[in-house]
């Protein structure tokens, strides 16, 4: 996988149409195209950078004013895809970082920036289903690494007004991890 594309829309019908356009535009592989809360539609696809870029532009054209957010991430960190599909057990619990976003897409690029910025483990990437359309990134590592990762993860989304809150909790109690898993 060279790149991922992520498109978030606030119309389910236009989301389905955009997913079709994405797949017809260039050679890309669909990871998912699904409904989320509150009435959003999220599309994750992969392929070569040029194909993903062309497909995303096509999806954005079809989505029009229903597009909430979109991103192409070349060389996405492997932890991002794993965290989207499953929750991972923490390896180092020196600190816990939680980043909360208004946009599903912001959580994806925030998570990628975070794990590229510091040596942390990405535990979970909740993509706006069942939590009012917000998205949450949960990571852990030593305190300095988690602080650096959270700062990097929030920076791009913050300029667009998509950050709800971000916290770093040094030496969290094991029960906190258990409640998140």
Per-residue model confidence (pLDDT) at position 149: 96
Answer yes or no: CATH 3.90.79.10 is held by domain 78-180.
no
The 8-class DSSP code of residue 66 comes to: G
28 close to 50: Cβ distance less than 8 angstroms = no
User: Distance between the two ends of the chain, CA-based, in angstroms?
Assistant: 28
Higher pLDDT, 24 or 162: 24
pLDDT score of 87 more than 60? no
Higher pLDDT, 134 or 90: 134
Tokens 């989301």 map to which residue? 15
Q: What is the separation of C-alpha 45 from the centre of its chain, rounded to a whole number of angstroms?
A: 12
Give dist(CA 29, CA 8) in Å, integer.
17
Give dist(CA 148, CA 98) in Å, integer.
12
Per-residue model confidence (pLDDT) at position 81: 79
Tokens 């040596």 map to which residue? 119
CATH 3.30.70.1710 maps onto the chain at 3-74, 78-180
Q: Where are the beta strands (DSSP E) in the chain?
A: 3-9, 28-36, 40-47, 67-74, 95-101, 121-127, 135-141, 163-170
pLDDT score of 77 more than 90? no
pLDDT tens digit string along 165-176? 999 999 988 777
Largest pairwise CA distance in the chain: 49
The predicted model gives 133-144 an average pLDDT of 90
Kindly report the average pLDDT of the chain as a whole number.
88
CATH of 3-74, one of 3.30.460.20, 3.40.50.1820, 1.10.40.30, 3.30.70.1710: 3.30.70.1710
pLDDT score of 64 more than 60? yes
């Amino acid at each position: 996988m060279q790149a991922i594309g992520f498109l978030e829309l606030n119309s389910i019908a236009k989301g389905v149409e955009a997913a079709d356009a994405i797949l017809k535009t260039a050679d890309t592989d669909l990871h998912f195209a699904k409904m989320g809360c509150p009435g959003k539609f999220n599309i994750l696809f992969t392929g070569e950078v040029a194909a993903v870029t062309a497909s995303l532009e096509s999806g954005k054209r079809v989505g029009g004013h229903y597009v909430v957010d979109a991103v192409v991430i070349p060389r996405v960190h492997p932890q991002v895809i794993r965290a989207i599909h499953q929750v991972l057990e923490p390896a180092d619990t020196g600190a816990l970082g939680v980043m909360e976003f208004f946009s599903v897409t912001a959580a994806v690029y925030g998570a990628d920036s975070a794990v590229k910025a510091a040596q942390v483990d990405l535990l979970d990437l909740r993509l706006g289903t069942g939590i009012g359309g917000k998205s949450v990134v949960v990571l852990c590592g030593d305190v300095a690494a988690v602080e650096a990762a959270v700062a990097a993860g929030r920076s791009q989304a913050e300029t667009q007004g998509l950050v709800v809150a971000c916290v770093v909790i040094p030496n969290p109690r094991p029960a906190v991890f258990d409640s998140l898993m």
